[in-house]
Every structure is written in structure tokens, then in C-alpha cells.
Amino acid sequence: MIHEAPVFASSGLPGVAEKVRSFILAAQEAAAGGISVAEFGELAVALMRVVIAAAESIPADGARKKAWVVEAVGLLFDAVADEAVPTLAYPVWLVVRPTVRTLVLMAAAGAVESLLPLVRKAAA
């Protein structure tokens, strides 16, 4: 699975920012040869789980933590989403990319509430 190396790379690091940075660097390496949309989704969900788990230990309100998760997904999108687009479709991608990014971030914001119980259960 494509998310295993990025998750491993981010484990053991102390802060949320360090975890996100390490995850995204490993995800870029994993996606270097191209990825499918499903693999991008797998990476996004894995990153969300990493950030949610890390944010649980930080005293902040839920809205702030949710913003961290969505921001991390935005950084992942900026780093690897282009790898999921075939070369032939790239001119169209340049036009629709901002809209797709917004939709991905909206989906991530909605998924946080679904992933939160799973992450808490896995941590227990």
C-alpha cells in the first residue's frame, strides 16, 4: 500500500508540523512515478489519521485541530496531486485544479468527524 512508507516516516516525530513534513516528503517519493486517484485518496486518509492522532495530544479546540488536518491535506494535494493526472489531460488539469483542490479540502473537512472515532479507538 502506498501510504505505508509515509506513515512510517512520520511516526516517532514529536510535533504535528514535523509529522506532516516527513509524511509529505515520503509521499512525494512514493508518487514520483505517478499515482492513481485512489492512491491519492489513500495517502490523504492516512495523513489525516496521522494529524488527528498527533493533534489529540495538543490542548486546542476542535475547530483548530480540524483546520490543521485540512491544511495538511492541502499541502499533500499541492505536493502530489499532479502525479495523478495523465500527461494528455494536464492542460485541462491546470484549469480545473483549483476547483478540485477546493473539493478535496471540503471532503477532508467532512471526513475528520468520521475518522476521529477510528483514530481514538486505534489509540486506545
pLDDT in tens, 2-58: 667 777 777 777 888 888 999 999 999 989 889 999 999 999 999 998 998 888 888
pTM of the model: 0.87
Mean pLDDT for 92-113 is 94
Domain ranges of the chain: 4-123
Contact call for residues 34 and 83 (beta carbons, < 8 A): yes
Q: What per-residue confidence (pLDDT) applies to 8?
A: 76
What cell numbers appear for 31 in the block?
508518487
pLDDT for 73 beyond 90: yes
Residue recorded with cell 488539469: 93
Q: What is the CA radius of gyration of the chain?
A: 14
